[in-house]
Amino acid sequence: MNENVLILAIETSCDETSVSIVENGKTILSNIILSQIESHKRFGGVVPEVASRHHVEGITATVEEALEVANVTMDEIDAVAVTQGPGLIGALLIGINAAKALAFAYDKPLIPVHHIAGHIYANNTEDPLTFPLMALIVSGGHTELVYMKSHMNFEVIGETRDDAVGEAYDKVARTIDLPYPGGPEIDKLAATGNDTYHFPRVWLEKGSYDFSFSGLKSAVINKLHNQRQKNEEIVKADVAASFQQSVVDVLSTKAVKACQEYNVKRLIVAGGVASNKGLRHRLTELCEENKIKLSIPSPKLCTDNAAMIGAAGYYFYEADITAGLDLNGQNNIDIEEATIE
Ligand code: KG4
Ligand code: ZN
């Protein structure tokens, strides 16, 4: 392995323009995140075209700031890593083109990184990954259980059949008039309410590690619709707590069961919903009971950021996985394809 590999990483797959400098896949020298949330709020969700425009406006200054904060120059950088996908195609392309320009101008290798691999490797910057491990990915676009027997080896053992968990959070939040993004709002409100609604838990067939959240989302929407028609009082905090309890029960039970079946003693959680307090609390309890080591990144590293791309990018770099200047964005790409044999 090379010593002191410095990677400049770029992430623009959704609504965060982020650039980071990461050393040896572990040490974050800078991690600049320009969030567009305020701009998308007025639309109640991310508008892809608006996201692309913000990335264009912000990317150059974000690269400069990341280098400045890390106190390094482009000459000292060993490689440029960038999120290849999945994500919004127009948004991805802004980061990819910026990465290509830097790689070309400074003659550095260009490293394509899978966004979900990035979310998993966010953990590596705080508590280095050990194998085998189980990763529970819970973000706005993905809900997956991924088994890893070694670095950069991804086997999806379960995934959502419909909505991603973050997506369900955002939609339910909208029905009780909470602003975008709804996940953190529901999380806050849930802490002040009780599970009085007893929404369904969707387990699917026995032994399946797949998930389904669209039925739960519909159950919430139907129940509220019903209550509104009858002029009954809707206790938003109880709706939030009941919805969250149902989600947390299913996610945590399946994740721990998967660890047991695959004989894994390490569970990592990744993606925006990993910062959910209810999920963190329940998983901490269950993992303690079952003697599983639990790792969840600090909230800033759970949501989209470039440090996670720099962390994963290091292992691609060490495996000599590079791309040419014809690198394209991929809006839908399976994490198993990122496996390095
Ligand atoms: O990983 P991420 O930043 O972007 C994607 O790759 O999708 O995840 C964003 C998602 C949003 O749906 C947001 O509502 C959700 O993560 N989220 C949360 C919390 N914080 C963010 N959901 C539940 N509880 C939270 N505390
Ligand atoms: Zn993400």
- Confidence at residue 15, expressed as pLDDT on a 0 to 100 scale: 85
| CA 139 to ligand 1 center in whole angstroms | 5
Pick from 13, 34, 247, 303 the residue to mutate for probing ligand 1's pocket: most ligand atoms within 8 Å of its CB. 303
CATH assignment of 133-296, among 3.30.420.40, 3.40.50.10320, 3.40.1710.10, 3.30.1180.20: 3.30.420.40
DSSP string, 81-121: EEEEESS-HHHHHHHHHHHHHHHHHHT--EEEEEHHHHHHH
User: Within 10 Å of residue 41's Cβ, how many Cβ atoms?
Assistant: 12
- Confidence at residue 80, expressed as pLDDT on a 0 to 100 scale: 98
- Lowest-pLDDT range of 52-56, 70-74, 320-324: 52-56
Check whether 56 has a pLDDT greater than 80.
yes
Domains 6-122+301-338 and 133-296 share a fold: yes
CB-ligand 1 contact for 181 (6 Å cutoff): yes
- CA separation for the pair 307, 265 (Å, rounded): 26
Residue 222 phi, psi dihedral angles, 5° rounding:
-65, -45
On the question of a cis peptide bond just before residue 299, with omega within 30 degrees of 0, the verdict is no
| Closest to 137 measured CA to CA, from 335, 322, 338 | 335
| Closest to 276 measured CA to CA, from 99, 139, 126 | 139
| CA 226 to ligand 2 center in whole angstroms | 34
State the residue for tokens 């691609």: 316
- pLDDT, average across residues 180-189: 94
- pLDDT, average across residues 37-66: 86
β-pairing, 143-148 with 293-295? Answer: unpaired
With bands split at pLDDT 50, 70 and 90, how would you rate the model's confidence at 51? Answer: confident
- Lowest-pLDDT range of 48-57, 100-109, 260-269, 330-339: 48-57
Check whether 2 has a pLDDT greater than 70.
no
User: Within 10 Å of residue 130's Cβ, how many Cβ atoms?
Assistant: 12
- Confidence at residue 290, expressed as pLDDT on a 0 to 100 scale: 97
Check whether 1 has a pLDDT greater than 60.
no
Q: Which atom of ligand 1 is nearest to the CA of 173?
A: 14
CB-ligand 1 contact for 14 (6 Å cutoff): yes
Q: What is the pLDDT of residues 204-220, one digit of tens each?
A: 999 999 999 999 999 99
Element (H, E) at 244: helix 236-261
Alpha-carbon distances of 203 from 147, 212, 215, 252, 271, rounded to whole Å: 20, 8, 11, 12, 22
In the chain, the percentage of residues whose pLDDT exceeds 70 is 99
CB-ligand 1 contact for 140 (6 Å cutoff): yes
Q: Ligand 1, atom 2: nearest CA belongs to which residue? A: 272
Report how far Cα 210 is from the mean position of its chain's Cα atoms: 18
Check whether 36 has a pLDDT greater than 90.
no
- Confidence at residue 120, expressed as pLDDT on a 0 to 100 scale: 97
- Confidence at residue 73, expressed as pLDDT on a 0 to 100 scale: 97
Pick from 116, 160, 169, 186 the residue to mutate for probing ligand 1's pocket: most ligand atoms within 8 Å of its CB. 169
15 has binding-site annotation: no
Q: What is the pLDDT of residues 250-306, one digit of tens each?
A: 999 999 999 999 999 999 999 999 999 999 999 999 999 999 999 999 999 999 999
Domain residue limits, the chain: 6-122+301-338, 133-296
- CA separation for the pair 291, 205 (Å, rounded): 27
- Under CATH, domain 6-122+301-338 is a member of which superfamily? ATPase, nucleotide binding domain (3.30.420.40)
State the chain's mean pLDDT as an integer. 95
